[in-house]
Every structure is written in structure tokens, then in C-alpha cells.
Structure 1
Amino acid sequence: MREKTDVLIVGGGIVGAATAYHLARQGVPTVLLEAETLAWGATGRNLGFIWVHTRKVGPELDLVMATRTGIDQLVGELDADVELQTNGGLVFFQDERQAPVMRELVEQRNANGVPMTLLSGDEARELVPLLPPAVLGATYCPLDTQVEPTLWVQAFAGAARRLGAQIREGVRVERLLREGDRIVGVATDAGEIEARDVVLAAGGWAPELAATAGLELPIHPMRLQIVQTLPMPRETRHIVYGSNALKQYSTFQDLPSFDDSLFVNEVEWRHDMLLLEGLSQKADGSYLLGCAMDYPGFVWDADLRGVSLINEVFMEHIPRLREAGFAKAWAGILPFTVDNLPIVDRMPGVDGLIVAAGHVFGNGSGPTSGQLVASMVTGEAPVISLEPFRAARDGLQLTADSSVW
């Protein structure tokens, strides 16, 4: 006989773990399956940013703010240390030609209801002493937040388990079980499990698993590479971007004064790879430096090109990091859709399958997505509108070569 449960979640990243938590809070019998260990995929391989600074007004910002607004209460409910820092984030610049664009960004963000300040170079260094004298200024948003992403996932999963959910690591889902127009469960390497609802929260693996039931998902893989240093003196309590990172965000690209040539580093051209220039300091004093970006498919390894790009740019822009010891480097596969919004919806054409995948900014949007999935299961009113996240919305594409956030 097949094992049975009400809801079966495929994937132990932030979306899956948050979904398990919110369902367990409602008393819904829930099983979560993770092929490796919790946060093994994209969730556990990023800088830990909950980034508000450049989130587009509308559903993208709504997804993150639903998490950010109540994050202190949420962490208290989870009853776990996630290394939460709510000190805000900076984007520094070193070229005076960039100053008018940064000023315009601050004006636009404040007009959109996102609090932001333009700091002088001295004010930026007061917040982040690591920054060198060459930094002329920075934008500062007090809403930007940092968590340790693996602890973030484990906190949701641990709370879900205490509320009665089953969290099973090392169980690989091999295919979805389809009977006619209904998904009835999954086949795993440990046997079959039947469920009233299957939640596909498998990130970059979601299209492959959907295909086992004859379904197509317009979700694509992007590789991000990160370098971790050995511990250094603990002095950076804000999350930090370099201004060149902003060219990845449509909020910035859409500014009338934006000029792409002012926000591209020569090292990026030389390595033929973009850098989302960001850093954060962990509780142990080590720095996470990232993120080299490209689109090689499901390549989970860092390469010398990406590591060289990260090291060269950071040694140029923040000379004190030349003293940093090298600890390790890794890569993660970030799932994306062409409109930068996840799919959080019951899959059209079949019953019994909810898709919650395609999260580019999962640390902030994952907890909200978990609430949305729980509302679909229980019939309660969603915390924000589900319409922007429909699987059949206009504009999604089954192929994509690159992404702009």
C-alpha cells in the first residue's frame, strides 16, 4: 500500500520549509521530502540578503515586504537563531559620474515608498569601516536585512516539525504520479507516497520533475558563484553592494539618467561574465563575496573564471580584502522566470499539483510564498493577491538566455 498524507512538499529550500511551517500551523498533515539536506540547493548557496533596495514596486516588492515587515515577530515564532541583522544595506560608488544616477535612484525610491538616503563617503565608511577612501558615497536603505540562509530554512523546518509536519531528508523524488488529469502523489527512491495535494517547491529542478507528468514549466537556471574568506575582525553589520551590481536591476535600468557604460567593470568584459558585486560578513567574521553570474545550465561547481572575477573586483574596490585568507568557493543554481516573479499557483490542466518555484530572491519571497501556498490548500484569504504569480500569466517563456531583475 502507498503511504498517504494530505500535502506532500517536494523540496527542502526556503519555499518548501516555509510552506511546511504555515501548513503545520493550520493543522494540515504535511510531509516534506528533500533529496539531499535542507537548504542544499539555491537557498543555502547565497549571500543571505533580504534585499528591498531595488525591488520593483508591485508584486515583487509586496512579496518581500510581507516577510520584511513582520520579520522580528516571525523569527520569534520560529524560536531559532537565524543570525538576523536588520541594520540596512548600502550600495557604494567610486565614480563621480555615477553620483547623479544614485541621487535619482534615492529620489525615485522615496517617491515609491521605499525609504532611502544618499550618504557621503564619510557617512558610508562610518557604517562600513571596510570601505576605502575612494568611496565617494552610497545609497542606504534601512529595510535591507540579512539572515544566514541555511539557518533560515532550518528554522522553518524545525518549527514545522514541532507542529507535527514530517521533514524527511535524503529522500529523492524521482517522478510525479499522474492518473488522468490528476497528480496523485510521487514516486521516490524509498517508495510511493499518495497525497491530496503535491507542492512542487524544487527550485531549479521543478521543470524536470514537472516533465515526468507531461507538464512544462517556464523556469530557467542561472549560476551564481561565491567566495568565502577566512574570518576577519567583525566590523561589517550591513549588507553591501557595489554600484556595478545595480545594472542587473530593472528598477535602476529604467532611470532616465542611467548609462550602462558607467556601471560596467573592465574585469567583467575581460572574463566575459557579469558580477553582482555584493558582500556580507557572517557571525564568525568571514566574508561572503559574490556573485559571478552566468548561464551554463545545471553546473553546480565554481570555476576559476568566476572566482578570479570576484577576487579581482573586490581587491580593486576594497583593498583591505587583499589581506583576506581564502576559505572556499562554491556555486548555486538560481531559478528564474523572465518576469522575475515566481510561479505560485495550482498547475493549469491538472488537479492536485501546486507549483511554488522560480524564486530569484527566495530569502525574502519564500516565506510569503509559503503563506500563499497554505492559503490555497486551506481556502483562507491570501496575504497578498495571487494573480501576479499565476502559472499561465502572459509573457512567460519556455526558453531564456539571461535574466534582468
Structure 2
Amino acid sequence: MSLPRFVDVVVIGGGAVGAACAYFAARSGLSVAVVERGAVASGTSSACEGNILVSDKEAGPELDLAQYSQGLWRGDLAEFGRLWEFEAKGGLVVSARPGTQENLALLAERQRAAGIDVELVAADGLAELEPQLNPNMAGGAYYPQDAQVQPMLAAAHLLRLARGFGATVHTQTTVTGFLRRGDAVTGVVTSGGTVSAPAVVNAAGTWGGAVAQLAGVNVPVLPRKGYVLVTEPLPIKVRHKVYAAEYVDNVASSDAGLQTSPVVEGTRGGTILIGSSRERVGFDKAVDPRVLAAMAGRAIGLFPFLAGAKALRSYFGFRPYCPDHLPVIGADPRAPGLWHACGHEGAGIGLSVGTGALLAAALTGTAPAMDLAPFAPERFDIPAAQEAAHA
């Protein structure tokens, strides 16, 4: 399909976030064209676990966005849940030491005050939730709101639904520049031609920073590499998403070095997904067996039965990391007409639908359900921020 000459909105990126932006914008009555340099969901969305979590987020804007997104996954989009294998499995965060359990209890208290449903679990209550869990755990916290989807299916079906509202999707189409009128962005230049549009949404994931640079603005999205191990199908089931409490600290860390913390969850097919790792090594695609070995060892520490399981395969992806651990969502005043929806790091699947709904509201002149100020793209423009502080 050839590119249209003019649309209301061009969405750059065909992953989960771009797909959600396209769906909600098209459903709102806007004409939409999605341009994706590869295949649908060929970036980070194809190399993750499909998490929809509240358990790993401290009280604040990201948790607020997670709650808003939860409402959409479970409410507005519930009729489509079977399409992307929505599974309300719940999450169990476990502590190996009493001191860690105390910190987890404090986090749970703050989250509960923000409206999260969380139940502290004593050590002797963990086996009821996860019979195969290491019995030496000091305790945990159960989050019934945690869920999971198949991320590639989510992206593909959201785009299919968007096409039902008139959107067009153009894969193998690389954005090489922007149409401009002065500072304003008025469309995109691609490998397949140009498209004029009063609004362009940068939903390019890990490449969101590079796309922003094409428009001359700074959005410091960096790749953060992470692996997933997949076991053979097993008769023993892991019932929830289970992870060690230090995973929360790793998510919030800005350390560029390697960090691993055990994350274990089952799939409907019987395989078990094992994570997690985080490291900033650019777009280095070399497989490091030491990272996989560390992940496997930590997972066995949670579930000893995994010591006898065979790994079928591993995969890795690059999560779009922002230095302040908040995504970039909203209009960019430095380049009017350019909007951003990127930098969600490992939470992009869960936060995608909330991001798309908020942008669609703003694009149509409707007040968004949440304040977008904490996610403002210009927050990274340090000189401008300093001038404003002294004004």
C-alpha cells in the first residue's frame, strides 16, 4: 500500500506503543498512518515478556499511568483480551531476608495509599500461592492486579483494529527526516515517500532518541539490554509472575553495569520464562553466556525444581531507557507538531494503552485523563529548565 499524501497523524513505530497510539487516535476519528522501519512489533515488543505490572512501581506518575492503563486493559479493551492472551495471573514479590521483607512492606504501604491492591504474605503463607517456591523465603507481597499479554499479538491486533477505523500501516518504511515549516513539524520524509500531517508521534521505542534528533530536539532515550531464558514445557507450573524484591531496585537503578535479579513465570504452553538482566551496552548484539548462567542460577534459587529443567532458547532485546525512569509522552514545544510516546523501558507493553489513550485525547483537544506534565519532552532541555527556574 502506498503512503497517503496527507493524514491527521503519522505514528512512527509499529510496536505496542505505536500500535496503541494508532488505535486510540483512529478510534477518535483522526486519519492515521503508521510507518515502521521493519515489521510490526519487530523491536522491543518482540523481545519481552508482555508484562502489565503495578508491583514494580513506586508511588508517583509512572504508577498512576500504570493504574490508568490497567483500567483500559481490563475495561475498555477487555472484549479483545482473548486476542492478545490477556492473563490476570497476579504477581508475587518475595524476600529472601527479613530486612528485605521490611522494605517490601514499606513499599507496599506507599503503593496501597496510591490505590494498589497488595497483600503482604508471611513466610508460611507463600507455599499456598506457589507450592514449588524455595521454602527459605522470609515473606512476600501479592499483587492481584499484575497481568500479562502476548506482546506481539497485542501490537498486531491493535494495529488491525486501528485499520478498522481507517488507519494505514506501512512496514519496511524508514523515517529519514521531517517536513518543516520554520520550527514546526508538518510531516515525515520516509524511504517510501513523504506524508504531510499536522501531528507526528514519535513512538520509535529504543530509537526514539534518534528520531527526535532528526527534528533537532533532545530526548535521551538509550538502549538497555535484557535477556529472557525459555525452558522446555514442564508439568510443574509456576502460577504467578514471581520475582525477588531486588528486581524493583534494579528497575529504578541508573547503573550502566550488569544487574540481574530473578524473575520467573509460566506460560499457557508449559514453558517457563526466566529473567531478568539489565545493562547499558549500546546496541551490542553479542550473546553473553555468563549473563544467562547468572539468570539461571538466580531462578533456581527461587524455584529449586528448575535445576532439572532444560533451556530451549534465549532471546534479548533493547529496552528504551530514560535517565529519570519516566517515559516521554506529549507534545514537544521545541518542535511544534512533534509528539512523543517513547522511553517506557521495560514497562512499555503495560503502559502502551494508557499512553495511546492520553495522546489521542490531547490530539483531539480533549482534556487527558492524567496530567502529562511529568512526562514532558522538554524536561531534558537543561538550559531551558534552568532559565525557567530563575525567571
TM over 0.5: yes
Specify the alignment match of 2:315 in structure 1. 330
Report the TM-score when normalising by structure 1.
0.86
Alignment partners' CA distance in 2, 1:345 and 1:60: 14
1:69 is matched with which residue? 71
Q: 2:174 aligns with which of 160, 164, 172?
A: 172
Q: CA deviation at 1:66?
A: 0.6
Task: Please tell me the residue identity of whatever aligns with 1:303.
Answer: D
The answer to whether structure 1 residue 226 and structure 2 residue 224 are counterparts is no
RMSD over aligned Cα atoms:
2.3
Matched, 1:375 2:361: yes
* 1:149-197 deviation line (CA, Å, top 9, x unaligned): 1122122112111221112222222233334212222222222222221
Match of 1:49 among 36, 48, 51: 51
1:393, CA displacement in angstroms? 2.5
**Farther off after superposition, 80-89 or 326-335:** 80-89
Q: Greater CA deviation, 92-101 or 285-294? A: 92-101
Q: Within 2, Cα distance between the matches of 1:79 and 1:99?
A: 34
Counterpart CA distance in 2 for 1:386 and 1:42 is: 24
Equivalent in the alignment of 2:106: 104
Q: 1:122 to 1:85 in 2, by over 3 A?
A: farther
Query: Is the 8 Å Cα contact of residues 79 and 155 (structure 1) preserved in structure 2?
Result: no
- What does the per-residue CA deviation read over 1:77-103, in whole Å, with 9 as the maximum and x for residues that have no partner? 446522212232101223344333333
Cα 1:385/1:96, change in 2 over 3 Å:
closer
Pairwise mapping of residues 140-151 of structure 1 onto structure 2 (< 5 A)? 140-151=142-153
Q: Does 1:295 align with 2:280?
A: yes
CA contact under 8 A between 1:9 and 1:199: conserved in structure 2? yes
Q: Determine helix, strand or coil for the equivalent of 2:26.
A: helix
Q: Is the 8 A contact 1:128 1:237 kept in 2?
A: yes
CA distance in 2 between partners of 1:153 and 1:233 (Å): 30
State the partner residue of 1:139: 141
Kindly indicate whether the alpha-carbon contact (under 8 Å) linking 2:231 and 2:310 is maintained by their aligned counterparts in 1.
yes
- TM-score, normalised by the number of residues in structure 2: 0.89
SS class of match (2:260): strand
Q: 2 CA distance for matches of 1:3 and 1:28?
A: 15
Listed as ranges, the gaps of 5+ residues in structure 1 are 254-271, 398-405
- 2:370 is aligned, of 365, 384, 392, to 384
1:316-355 C-alpha deviation (Å, 9 max, x unpaired): 3322112222121122111122221111122222222111
In the other structure, the counterpart of 1:316 is: 301
Query: 2:36 is matched with which residue?
Result: 34
Post-superposition CA distance 1:4-35 (Å, at most 9, x none): 22211000112110111111111211011112
> 2 CA distance for matches of 1:140 and 1:124?
9
Q: How far does residue 2 in structure 1 lie from its aligned partner after superposition?
A: 7.4
Q: Given that residues 48 and 363 in structure 1 are in contact (C-alpha distance below 8 angstroms), is that contact kept between their aligned partners in structure 2?
A: yes
Distance (whole Å) between structure 1 residues aligned to residue 215 and residue 68 of structure 2? 33
Residues 5-20 of structure 1 aligned to structure 2 (within 5 Å): 5-20=7-22
What is the SS of the residue equivalent to 1:184?
strand
The question of whether the paired residues in 1 share the 8 Å contact of 2:261 and 2:295 is answered with: no
Q: Which residue of 1 aligns with 2:115?
A: 113
Q: Judging changes above 3 Å, is the alpha-carbon distance between structure 1 residues 234 and 191 closer, same or farther for their aligned structure 2 residues?
A: farther
Change in 2 beyond 3 A, CA 1:377/1:96: closer
SS in 1 for 2:30: coil
TM-fit CA distance, 1:382: 0.5
Deviations 1:56-111 (A, max 9, x none): 22311111101112422333344652221223210122334433333333334334
Worse-superposed segment, 99-108 or 215-224: 99-108
Q: Tell me whether 60-69 or 39-48 shows the greater mean CA deviation.
A: 39-48
Aligned pair partner of 1:275 in 237, 240, 260? 260
Q: Percent identity?
A: 31
Distance 2:212 2:110 in 1: 40
Q: Which amino acid aligns with 2:28?
A: Q
Q: 1:100 to 1:149 in 2, by over 3 A?
A: same
SS in structure 1 of the partner of residue 25 of structure 2: helix
Evaluate the alpha carbon distance shift between residue 331 and residue 3 of structure 1 in structure 2; reply closer, same or farther with a 3 A threshold: same
**Structure 2: gaps (5+ residues):** 384-391
Q: For the structure 1 residues 95 and 299, does the alpha-carbon distance in structure 2 shift closer, same or farther, using more than 3 Å as the test?
A: same
- List per-residue Cα deviations over 1:190-243 (Å, max 9, x = no partner): 222222211110011111122223222122221111111121126223111112
Counterpart for residue 348 of structure 2: 362
Residue 388 of structure 2 is matched in structure 1 by none
Deviation at 1:396, TM superposition (A): 6.8
Closer, same or farther: CA 378–77 of 1 in aligned 2, 3 Å: farther
Partner Cα distance (1:57, 1:191) in 2: 44
8 Å CA contact 2:258–2:280 kept in 1: the answer is no
